[in-house]
Amino acid sequence: MKNKGVMFIISGPSGAGKGTLVKELLKYPENEVSVSATTRSPREGEIDGVHYHFLTVDKFHELMEHNGVLEYAQYCGNYYGTPSAQIDAWLSEGKNVILEIDVQGCRQIKAKRDDAVTVFIVPPSMEILEKRLRGRGTENDDVIAQRLLAAKGELEMAGEYDYVVVNGPIEECAADVMAIFKAENIKAQNRETMCELLGR
């Protein structure tokens, strides 16, 4: 099956603003976001099929055994994974499929799907990152210090990605990412056209 759409992996440290960016990108009808599967219980306010697909461990294993996940990880005793069926359906419809996923997950997917395009989101400065983390108001000083340290480590991984985008004003960041999507859509279409022209 020929894929007309493009898969985009978005990563970046906690506090870089990936969630806000993805929300902004979903305002465009050509973009879709993958919903992960997990075996953890829903938190208050979380909706099955929107925030996650909440599965039993048996169902998750079934999905894994039938090649139904692109990648998976275990975190705090629960499984998390990216189901592939919906992604493939969207790609065949020509959609941009967005996966908001960490560096490890990105590596697993790139090993299987080297046509995935990777985008790393960074904050404009460490001061702004700290402000954003504090602005959430949910974590104490120790946790914020840990997250800042983790963010520095994660920033070292940016070099593995196809693109790095600075997330300052959200509209500007979304416009930059949409420009990348557009350029990559043209590349993918041209690959198909050239195959047809050359009869391959």
Q: How far is the CB of 192 from ligand 5GP (least distance, A)?
A: 29
DSSP code per residue over 12-80: --TTS-HHHHHHHHTTSTTEEEPPPEESSPPPTT--BTTTBEE--HHHHHHHHHTT-EEEEEEETTEEE
CA atoms of 151 and 95, how far apart (whole Å): 31
CA atoms within 13 A on the CB side of 119: 26
Q: Which helix (DSSP H) or strand (DSSP E) does residue 134 occupy?
A: helix 126-135
Least distance between ligand 5GP and beta carbon 196 (Å) = 35
Least gap, CB of 175 to ligand 5GP (angstroms):
25
| DSSP letter string, 170-183 | HHHHHHHHHHHHHH
Quote the tokens at residue 81. 């994974």
Nearer to ligand 5GP, 39 or 188 (CB): 39
Instruction: Give the nearest distance from C-beta 117 to ligand 5GP in angstroms.
Output: 18
DSSP β-ladder status, 37-38 and 78-83: antiparallel
**Residue 193 Cβ vs ligand 5GP, minimum distance, rounded to whole Å:** 33
Find the residue with minimal CB distance to ligand 5GP. Answer: 36
> Of the two residues 24 and 102, which places its CB atom closer to ligand 5GP in the complex?
102
Give residues in contact with ligand 5GP (CB under 6 A): 36, 40, 71, 73, 75, 80-82, 101-102, 105
Instruction: Report the residue number, 60 or 188, with the smaller CB distance to ligand 5GP.
Output: 60
What minimum distance in Å lies between the beta carbon of 82 and ligand 5GP?
Answer: 4
Judged by beta carbon, residue 97 or residue 101, the one nearer ligand 5GP is: 101
Tokens (6 digits) for 114: 């080297």
In the bound state with ligand 5GP, the residue whose beta carbon lies nearer, of 35 and 178, is: 35
Which residue number, 79 or 163, has a Cβ lying nearer to ligand 5GP?
A: 79
Backbone angles phi, psi at 95, to 5 degrees: -85, 160
Angle between helices 126-135 and 141-155 (to 10 degrees): 140
